[in-house]
Structure formats: C-alpha cells, structure tokens
C-alpha cells in the first residue's frame, strides 16, 4: 500500500487550529514559565530572581497541603472513574446468573434518554395539540 503525501491544501486546513492552539495554550504556558523566574506585581518593572519563587513555593505549608489534596483527588478520581467501571465491564463479560439483568440495568439510562427525547418531539409535532401546530395557528399560517 502506497503512502499518500499530504498536499499543501491539507496543511492549510490545519493552520487555523494551529494558530488557535498556539495562542491559547503554547504562548501562555511559555510566558507563564518565563515570568515565574521574575518578581513582578503585573504593573511595575520585572526583576529577575531565578528559582527563588519556587524555593518559597515549596516552603509554604499551604502549597504543600494543596498539592497533597490534589494528589489525593487525582488518585481517587482516576480510581473511581477508571478502575471501577473497568472491573464492572470485566465482571459483566463473565457468565453468571443475572448477567443480562445487570447489563440492562447499566445500559438503561442510555436508552431512557433517547426515548424521552423521542416522546418530547412527538408531543411538539402532535397534529392536535403540539407546540408547532399551536404556533402556526397563532400566526395564522395553517
């Protein structure tokens, strides 16, 4: 199988997304990294102080507490949102009594959302008392 070369047109379609990504993500990250080595209140002149901000940061007990809280939150959220569903999926893939019930139980919310949306649209387009027909009658479009 031959590998197709990208044309100039393909790259031109990527330019707007690249400009947005560069201006919203890359430039702010680089700018923040650079100014982290300065003492600056946002208005006056910047004074280069090197890694002194980082030394102060890691000596601050509030930062250490916030960092540990974030690590706990990260660990628990990843565990709950990845390991638990993966374990349930593996369990539901095994043969056991009631497997079909539990598969339906977990899939039920997905089906209910679509059914609810269909019923609402059916009411909206109902020829006797639907919103669209009531609106058309009010505007004398019928």
Q: How far is 140 from 142, CA to CA, in rounded Å?
A: 6
Q: Does the global pTM surpass 0.75?
A: no
Residue 109 has pLDDT above 70, yes or no: yes
Higher-confidence residue of 7 and 55: namely 55
Amino acid 84: pLDDT = 87
CB of 46 closer than 8 Å to CB of 39: yes
Domain ranges of the chain: 1-55, 60-94, 97-142
What's 5's DSSP letter?
P
pLDDT tens-digit series, residues 16-62 = 999 999 999 999 999 999 999 999 998 999 999 999 999 999 999 99
pLDDT-derived band at 127, boundaries 50, 70, 90? confident
Residue 2 has pLDDT above 60, yes or no: no
Residue with tokens 């598969």: 103
The residues, ordered by sequence, that sit 6+ positions from 136 with a Cβ below 8 Å of its Cβ are 142
pLDDT-derived band at 141, boundaries 50, 70, 90? confident
**Average pLDDT score over the chain:** 91
CA dihedral 25, 29, 30, 32 (to 10 degrees): 140
In the chain, the percentage of residues whose pLDDT exceeds 70 is 95
What's 39's DSSP letter?
E
């Amino acid at each position: 199988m031959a590998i197709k070369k990208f044309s100039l047109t393909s790259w031109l379609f990527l330019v707007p997304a690249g400009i947005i990504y560069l201006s919203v993500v890359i430039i702010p990250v680089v700018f923040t990294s650079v100014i982290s080595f300065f003492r600056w209140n946002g208005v006056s002149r910047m004074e280069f102080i090197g890694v002194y901000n980082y030394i102060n940061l890691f000596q601050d007990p509030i930062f250490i507490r916030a960092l540990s809280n974030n690590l706990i939150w990260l660990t628990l959220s990843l565990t709950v949102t990845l390991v638990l569903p993966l374990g349930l999926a593996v369990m539901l893939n095994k043969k056991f009594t009631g497997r079909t019930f539990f598969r339906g139980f977990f899939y039920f919310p997905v089906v209910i959302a679509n059914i609810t949306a269909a019923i609402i649209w059916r009411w909206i387009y109902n020829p006797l008392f639907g919103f669209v027909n009531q609106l058309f009658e009010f505007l004398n479009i019928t």
